[in-house]
Amino acid sequence: MAIEITTLDDAAEWNDLVDRSSQATPFHRAESLDVMARHADATLHPYAGFKGQEPVGLFPLFEISKGPVSTAFSPPPDLKISYLGPALLNHTKQKQRRQEKTNSRFIGGCLERLAETIDPKYIHLRTSVQYTDTRPLIWGGFEPTTRYTYVVDLDRSEDDLLAAFSSDARSNITNADDADYEIGQGGEREIRRTIQELRTYHEDQNVGFHITPEFVVDLFEELPDECFRIYTCRVDGELVGGHITLEAGETIYGWQSWGSRETDIPVNDLLDWEIITTARERGRSQYDLVGANNERISKYKAKFGPQLRTYQTMERGTPAMTLVSEVYKRIRS
């Protein structure tokens, strides 16, 4: 039976499929996609594949046009969205040959529909960690680049988690005096402060940081409360750190964070420990630290005894558009 590719505009139906896919992330939710489209000035194409009545996959793509040239992204550029791309459903109960056949037909159908709709000259994708078989995209002409992240296994006791940490992380967490700081959760004000602190830090490092407080606040307001949180650390009532997380399924994602360097409190370690312990209590089984591609930042994240996992950046385009993309990325970085 052929796979039918349709544009699924009903948010409730889309989110139901997101909840049923083991490969989907919080960024796949309809609320996230709508916010991305608005802030990227993009047109969303929410493709869903069905085999009869059975859903087989989701593939949100964003059209960005400059003059006569159309491009497609998943996720859109410059929003610091780590993962998107395709997410399969009902595939784990299939035998390997059937899984591969369904994946290939679904991806092929989505790309064919995209070509018929906008005929993009350049396509850029970033897959989720859970979407592991990217071969249909490679066979479809995409050039892959392997990227890395760290994932902490939360399905163990707190003692076992701490035992896997580096000695300095354990010491920072266990020796910190509870009277010296307060860990909690915040809202719009703390989100805006966190993004502004990150913007200032990146500017000082001459590194591009293009997301706005308005974009992150819109995500906070649109997503369900259990999906988006900002953990905060205060000393004497003053905010000295914030860590924004998103979660869905078995995973919590550490998305954007900052910690003041003007305090003796190990802000980042304490925030990460709070995220780990509370997510574990809510039944999450893994903590994705979101990114292990920067050498300096990876040294910090490796303190928490994580596993190294991979995902893929995929590009396809005409030679001229690929060259333009490379120049653009160098300028933006």
The span from the CA of 331 to the CA of 122, in Å, is 18
At residue 1 the predicted structure's pLDDT band, cuts being 50, 70 and 90, is: low
pLDDT given at position 143:
96
Same domain, 134 and 182: no
Query: Quick one: average pLDDT of 262-286?
Result: 96
Query: Quick one: average pLDDT of 286-310?
Result: 95
Same domain, 258 and 161: yes
In a domain, 121, yes or no: yes
In a domain, 41, yes or no: yes
Query: Quick one: average pLDDT of 85-94?
Result: 86
Is there a contact between 10 and 46 (Cβ–Cβ < 8 Å)? no
In a domain, 301, yes or no: no
**Nearest-CA neighbor of 8 among 46, 42, 35, 36?**
46
Same domain, 119 and 162: no
In a domain, 238, yes or no: yes
Query: Within 13 Å and on the Cβ side, how many CA atoms surround 173?
Result: 23
At residue 54 the predicted structure's pLDDT band, cuts being 50, 70 and 90, is: very high
Same domain, 180 and 67: no
The span from the CA of 71 to the CA of 86, in Å, is 17
Does 320 score more than 60 pLDDT? no
In a domain, 172, yes or no: yes
Domain total for the chain? 2
Is there a contact between 124 and 314 (Cβ–Cβ < 8 Å)? yes
Same domain, 167 and 125: no
Same domain, 119 and 236: no
In a domain, 168, yes or no: yes
Distances (CA, A) of 144 to 123, 141, 311: 12, 10, 10
pLDDT digit string, tens, across residues 131-143: 999 999 999 999 9
The span from the CA of 298 to the CA of 291, in Å, is 8
Same domain, 143 and 243: no
Same domain, 165 and 270: yes
pLDDT digit string, tens, across residues 169-228: 999 999 999 999 999 999 999 999 999 999 999 998 888 899 999 999 999 999 999 999
pLDDT given at position 330:
43
Q: Which domain holds residue 246?
A: 155-284
Instruction: Quote the pTM value.
Output: 0.93
Same domain, 123 and 205: no
The span from the CA of 30 to the CA of 12, in Å, is 8
pLDDT digit string, tens, across residues 142-153: 999 999 999 999
Cβ of 249: how many Cβ atoms within 10 Å? Answer: 18
Same domain, 92 and 167: no
Listed in sequence order, the residues at least 6 apart from 197 whose beta carbon sits closer than 8 Å to its beta carbon are: 242, 258
Q: What is the amino acid identity at position 119? A: D
Place of tokens 């996959």: 57
In a domain, 294, yes or no: no
CATH number for the domain spanning 256: value is: 3.40.630.30
In a domain, 295, yes or no: no
At residue 30 the predicted structure's pLDDT band, cuts being 50, 70 and 90, is: very high
Same domain, 15 and 125: yes
Same domain, 118 and 165: no
pLDDT given at position 90:
82
